[in-house]
Amino acid sequence: MHTHRNTLECLELVPLFASLPLEQRQAIADLIVQQPYSKGSTIYLAGDEVSRFLIVEHGQIKITQSSAAGNEQIVRVLNAGEFDGEANLFGQTERDTSATVLTDALVCQINRADFQRLLHQIPEVAVSLLNQMSQKIAQLEKQVTLTNTVDVKGRLAQYLVETSAALHQESFSLPLLKKDIATYLGTTAETVSRTFKELVHEQLITNKGRQVTILDADGLALLI
Amino acid sequence: MHTHRNTLECLELVPLFASLPLEQRQAIADLIVQQPYSKGSTIYLAGDEVSRFLIVEHGQIKITQSSAAGNEQIVRVLNAGEFDGEANLFGQTERDTSATVLTDALVCQINRADFQRLLHQIPEVAVSLLNQMSQKIAQLEKQVTLTNTVDVKGRLAQYLVETSAALHQESFSLPLLKKDIATYLGTTAETVSRTFKELVHEQLITNKGRQVTILDADGLALLI
DNA sequence: CGGAATCTTGAGGCCCGTCAATAACGGTGG
DNA sequence: CCACCGTTATTGACGGGCCTCAAGATTCCG
């Protein structure tokens, strides 16, 4: 038995399917399994054989990858409406990343075979997915360039501006722990702590605990 | 007038289209325009309005991105059979990267409208493209993790192993200038030079000019 | 052959990673 | 409500990897 109304809601907030006519969305909704995850739980680990496509209905999920030395690196953070697992719809069945739940989350999942059928039956889904994936590629390329050419202060500035934009407010609560911000930026918690202090001292932001306010977005942009 | 046989050849060596039946490949071949580029020439620059999908038939092309400070960063190198420009088939019409020809190259191009039509007419093309793009995403994620968690020596080791594998030989001529290897690895020419010396000293490789021979692939892998 | 680009080598300094210890938080149970 | 504990954050000292600057050597190519 599917909880039909709920899975439809999930589809509606996802850009990937939002443009489809209702009839097609309903057909897709029947393929979806909803699953809640609580904060701190693991959705999958690197090496797992998981061939499901997943969409975040609400909550936040971090996707991490570990180096041979065992260092954890955050590859990206999924927010509501974002998806993961497209690589596992094709050849690759084994995950090379892990997914951990940052805040209580609701996740919609479609299994590999169903999704494959969907791609062939509804070309618009494939085109829409291509569109989303091309954006993801562009964003990853920017991230590569950023970490290779900009110092930690600039990367933190970039992260704060970006986060502020995503939340549509210049005063906000950090969605990640500072130690997670550190691995996302390719640095350490100590350096992040010191860099926050610098930015505060230069009156570009205020920061008390997890609360951040952007005072001078232009000044931050100059650091990037 | 199309040079029918030539454009077909281009399709055949590209994984993106290789699995299609001949009839469909011929239809696609009619949409393709072939263009030769000479070493050092520019295919497009960041900011250009280029809405063409391009496939490398032979030769090498480097895709670069510049930071605000003006530092050039190599995002990736296209070899024969690889493609670029998928982001410009959808919303984004303006390039945010530049493409420069490393060795004399032959490039097949399809314009945006034709390719869009193709995606809707032949679902296999869309699925195949999704597959390729998902691999690109996985590779970019690995690169992000690598540059963030591994030191220059490890990154150079990784680059050499990867290049050796791509060329199917353990003794080869570097496809990139060392200064380009530097920007690809997110470091400087000086550091690359010193690191080569280290690897030679540790008898993991030999290196005379542009010529490199891998002596101990396992030893290199330990550095990653 | 000659000029330009690339590569190498050295010296010096700074960013940032590591180690270590303390402080501040945040959730839990009495 | 507060005491308690584990987690997270801060701060300092120190060292090392790598960037910068500068000069010379080598290669590339017309």
CA distance to partner chain A, nearest, from residue B121 (Å)? 8
Largest CA distance in chain B: 57
- Model confidence at B131: pLDDT above 90: no
The arithmetic mean of pLDDT across residues A139-166, rounded, is 92
pLDDT score for B205? 96
Fill in the DSSP letter of residue B49.
Answer: B
Task: Give mean pLDDT, residues B56-67.
Answer: 88
| Highest mean predicted confidence (pLDDT) among A206-220, B11-25, B31-45 | A206-220
Q: Report the relative pairing of strands A205-208 and B33-37 from DSSP bridges.
A: unpaired
CB-based contact, B142 to chain A, within 8 Å:
yes
Question: With 60 as the cut, is the pLDDT of residue A10 above it?
Answer: yes
Band of residue B52 on the pLDDT scale cut at 50, 70, 90: confident
Q: Is residue A176 predicted with pLDDT exceeding 90? A: yes
Q: Give yes or no for B133 touching A (CB within 8 A).
A: yes
Specify whether B39 is located in the same domain as B141. Answer: yes
Q: Is pLDDT of A125 > 60?
A: yes
Do residues B51 and B137 share a domain?
yes
Is the Cβ of B96 closer than 8 Å to some Cβ of chain A? Answer: yes
- Mean pLDDT value across residues B126-135: 88
Q: Does B135 reach chain A within 8 Å, measured CB to CB? A: yes
- SS3 category, A55: strand
Cα angle B157, B162, B165 (rounded to 5 degrees) comes to 130
Q: Taking the model in full, what pTM does it have? A: 0.87
Q: Clarify whether residues B155 and B215 are in a common domain.
A: yes
Q: What is the pLDDT of residue B187?
A: 94
Residue of B nearest to A75 (CA): B141
- Judgement on whether residues B170 and B125 belong to the same structural domain of the protein: no
Average pLDDT value for chain B = 88
The predicted structure's pLDDT at residue B1: 44
Least confident of A197-206, B2-11, B133-142, B154-163: B2-11
Question: What is the pLDDT, as a whole number, of residue A207?
Answer: 94
Among all residues of chain A, which has the CA nearest to that of B95? A138
**In A, residues 162-221, which contact B (CB 8 Å cutoff)?**
183, 186
Shortest CB distance from B144 goes to which of A71, A135, A147?
A147
Strand partners, A100: A42, A62
- Residue B78: phi and psi, rounded to 5, are -90, 130
- A129 shares its domain with A192: no
Considering the domain architecture, whether residues A101 and A175 belong to the same structural domain is answered as no
- Through-space separation of residue B153 CA and nucleotide D16 C1' in angstroms: 14
Other beta carbons within 10 angstroms of residue A164's beta carbon come to 19
Verify that B103 and B206 share a domain, yes or no.
no
Q: Give the pLDDT mean for A84-97.
A: 84
- Residue A5 clears pLDDT 80, i.e. is over it: no
* % of chain B residues with pLDDT over 90: 38
Let me know whether A114 and A191 are in one domain.
no
Domain that holds residue B121: 4-146
Q: Which residues share a beta bridge with B99?
A: B44, B63
Q: Tell me: pLDDT of A199 over 90.
A: yes
Q: How confident is the model at residue B5 (pLDDT cuts 50, 70, 90)?
A: low
Determine the protein residue whose CA lies at the shortest distance from the C1' of C25: A209
Summarised one tens digit per residue, pLDDT across range B79-124 is 888 899 888 887 777 888 999 998 888 899 998 889 888 888 888 8
Copy the structure tokens of residue B107.
């490039």
CATH number of the structural domain spanning residue A211: 1.10.10.10
Which of B146, B169, B185 is where one domain is finished?
B146
Q: What is the pLDDT of residue B210?
A: 92
**Structural domain count, chain B:** 2
Is there a single domain that holds both residue A159 and residue A139? Answer: no
CB within 8 A of B117, min separation 6: which ones? Answer: none
**For B119, which of A68, A127, A143 is closest by C-beta distance?**
A127
The dihedrals phi and psi of B152, each to the nearest 5 degrees, come to: -60, -40
pLDDT in tens, B151-192: 999 999 999 999 999 889 999 999 999 999 999 999 999 999
Q: Alpha carbon B40 to chain centroid distance?
A: 16
In tens, the pLDDT along A22-65 reads 888 888 888 999 888 888 888 998 888 888 888 998 888 999 98
- Same domain, residue pair B130 and B181: no
**Minimum CA–C1' distance nucleotide for B211:** D27
How far B34 CA lies from chain A's nearest CA (Å)?
A: 24
Looking at A146, A176, A192, the residue that finishes a domain is A146
Q: Hey, which of A41-45, A188-192, B27-31, B59-63 has the most confident mean pLDDT?
A: A188-192
Between CA B26 and CA B34, with CA B32 as vertex, the angle to 5 degrees is 125
Residue A211 and residue A161 share a domain: yes
Q: How far is the CA of A208 from the C1' of C29 (A)?
A: 29
User: Are residues B126 and A127, on separate chains, in Cβ contact within 8 Å?
Assistant: yes
Q: Which pLDDT does position B99 carry in this prediction?
A: 92
Last residue of a domain, one of A146, A167, A191: A146
Read off the pLDDT band of A4 (50, 70, 90). Answer: very low
Residue B190 (CA) to nucleotide C11 (C1'), in angstroms, measures 13
- Mark whether A79 and A22 lie in a shared domain: yes
Q: Minimal Cα distance from A125: which residue of B?
A: B126
CATH number of the structural domain spanning residue A80: 2.60.120.10
Give me the mean pLDDT over the A130-145 stretch.
88
Nucleotides of D under 7 A from a protein CB: 8-13, 17-22, 26-28
Tokens, residue A54:
């997943």
Counting Cα atoms < 13 Å in the Cβ hemisphere of B164 gives 19
How many Cα atoms sit within 13 Å of B197 on the Cβ side? 6
